[in-house]
């Protein structure tokens, strides 16, 4: 499944770091996943007027890297994308948790298999054994 997002500035990483606990639980309920396990591997939808995508990593929690040298800490077993204007995204506080990416044109997000994420030209492959998150 590929989903097209409009050009803009986005946070990519574990969404549990940028969505407060109350909203995170509401998102899990809305998406049909009452635990931290996104059973269907991936989910796309609108949440409080924001489009987002979230998918399961191959090995759960850990530290993952993208093809550009970015670092992604994962504590919910998932990686996702949400507009950086989401109220809880604070660019100065996300170092090593995820990244802020500026997309200058519409772009596709896809997860062709569990743990392999494509955000236009940025790829995060969690299928390799992850490193332990301290």
DSSP 34-70: -SS--TTSEEEEEETTEEEEEEE-SSSSEEEEBTTS-
For 59-102, the pLDDT digits (tens) are 888 999 999 999 999 998 889 999 998 887 877 777 778 999 99
Report the alpha-carbon distance of residue 25 to residue 54 in Å, rounded. Answer: 14
pLDDT for res 8: 95
Per-residue confidence band for 110, with pLDDT thresholds at 50, 70 and 90: very high
What are the two backbone dihedrals, phi and then psi, of residue 88, each rounded to the nearest 5 degrees?
-90, 0
Could you state, in order of their start, the residue ranges of all structural domains in the chain? 2-125
pLDDT for res 126: 93
Mean pLDDT across the chain = 85
For 22-62, the pLDDT digits (tens) are 988 888 887 766 444 555 577 788 888 888 998 888 888 89
Structural contact between residues 23 and 30, judged by C-beta atoms closer than 8 angstroms:
no
pLDDT for res 94: 79
Q: Which residue has the tokens 């996943």?
A: 33
- pTM of the entire predicted model: 0.87
């Amino acid at each position: 499944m590929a989903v097209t997002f409009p050009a803009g500035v986005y946070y990519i990483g574990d969404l549990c770091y940028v969505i407060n606990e109350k909203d995170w639980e509401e998102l899990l309920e809305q998406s049909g996943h009452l635990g931290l396990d996104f059973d269907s591997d991936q989910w796309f939808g609108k949440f409080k007027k924001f489009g987002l995508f979230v998918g399961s990593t191959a090995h759960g929690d850990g530290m993952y890297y993208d093809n550009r040298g970015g670092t992604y800490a994962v504590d919910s077993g998932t990686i996702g994308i949400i507009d950086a204007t989401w109220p809880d995204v604070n660019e100065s506080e996300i170092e090593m948790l995820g990244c802020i990416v500026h997309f200058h044109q519409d772009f596709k997000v896809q997860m062709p298999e569990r743990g392999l994420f494509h955000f236009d030209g940025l790829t995060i492959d969690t299928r390799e054994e992850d490193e332990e998150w301290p």
